[in-house]
Structure formats: structure tokens, C-alpha cells
Amino acid sequence: MGFEGLGADAGEVHRLFFALWPDDSARDGIEAAAGELRRTHAPRGRWIGRHRYHLTLQFLGDAPMLREDVANAAMRAADSVRAHAFDLVLDVAGSFRNRSIPWWVGCDRTPPALQQLFDTLGAALLRNGVRIESGKGLVPHVTVLRDAETALPTTLIAPVRWPVREFVLVHSVLGRKSAYHLLGRWPLPAP
């Protein structure tokens, strides 16, 4: 794959990660859950646009420009992943207790198929020499708010059903012209 037009401007951060990318129906459900949290709790912070909703599988790091060698090795790793499609249900909301206090919607229990995809992709990346920066554990979540003033206790939400039929490699550009670029898609066949 060519990476034309994905160069670096001064001050930009180029982030590379594998993710689950919701279909329109799942995006609608996530947006509705975020809207309910907003109405119920009225937090201050930066709400994430629905076009940015995703569930990170493996985080490959930040750099001042897109590292094509890492992206190509990551794509080779993804080509070797054998996993099946599954359904994910987002049924809780909460927050992490770090500096930016992100609020998220996620699942109370990690589906075995999601854990298998995470583990299989992680092993494939390591075999292909790609350093993983996402840590060893999977905490399935979709960030909906950044820089909240207060933490959100674990809260039940109306279940959002998400049919997971693929995973993607995302190049995120943070800076003057922030954008997401999907560098590749890998289908997950029915079991």
C-alpha cells in the first residue's frame, strides 16, 4: 500500500493502532449512549465526534511522522490473523482515572472471541517485529468524552449491539488537521 499524502507537518503526532470500527448502527447506539450520559450527568469536557468512535485492539505508538516500515509490518501481521466474526454488546459506561479522565462505553464482560482476536493479533505483531504499546491487558471500551472534570462511576447503559465483522489499521494524525486514515481492513469470517 502507498502512503502518499500522509506526510508530517511540524508539531503533528502520528498514531498507529488496530481497532474495531463500528458500523452505522453501532455508531448510532454509541452516540445515543453518549447523549444519555450527557443529559444525565452534564459533564464538561470534549465530546468525541461519532466519526471517531472505535475500540482500540492494539496500540502501536506515536511518532512525529507515519513510520511506513511499522505500518507495513503491522499489515503483514494482520494478514496472518485467523479469527472469526462475533457480536459485541456495549452495556456499561465508566471512566479511567488518568489525567484526562476519559469517559467511555464498554462491555461488562469481554467476549471470548474479542479476547482471542486481541491475543492472536498481538502474537502476530510480535512475530513480525512490531512493538506493541497497548500493554498486556484488554479493556474493551469506546471513548466518548475526553478531559472530563469528574470521574464517571460504572453506570449501566441501554445495550448497544455491535456485529464485529472486521478489524482495521488506523493512522491517526493529531495536530492542526487532525484526521483518521484507515490503512487496511481485515474481514472476520462467520464461525
Q: What is the pLDDT of residues 13-60, one digit of tens each?
A: 999 999 999 999 999 999 999 999 999 999 999 999 999 999 999 999
Contacts of residue 139, defined as CB under 8 A and 6 or more positions apart, other chains included, come to 106
Strand-strand pairing, 166-174 and 155-164: unpaired
- Which of the four pLDDT bands, split at 50, 70 and 90, describes residue 98? confident
In terms of pTM, does the model score above 0.75? yes
pLDDT of residue 5: 46
> What is the domain partition of the chain in residue ranges?
13-187
Of the ranges 61-65, 135-139, 177-181, the best mean pLDDT one: 61-65
pLDDT of residue 9: 58
pLDDT of residue 23: 97
Q: What is the pLDDT of residues 99-143, one digit of tens each?
A: 889 999 999 999 999 999 999 999 999 999 999 997 778 999 999
- Which of the four pLDDT bands, split at 50, 70 and 90, describes residue 3? low
Q: Which CATH number fits domain 13-187: 3.40.50.970, 3.90.1140.10, 3.30.43.10, 3.40.50.1100?
A: 3.90.1140.10
pLDDT over 70 (residue 10): no
Contact criterion met (CB below 8 Å) for 51 and 21: no
pLDDT of residue 24: 97
The cell numbers describing 57, all together, are 485492539
Contacts of residue 21, defined as CB under 8 A and 6 or more positions apart, other chains included, come to 54, 166, 167, 168, 170, 182, 185
- Which of the four pLDDT bands, split at 50, 70 and 90, describes residue 4? very low
Q: Which strand (E) or helix (H) includes residue 144?
A: strand 141-146
Average pLDDT of span 91-105: 93
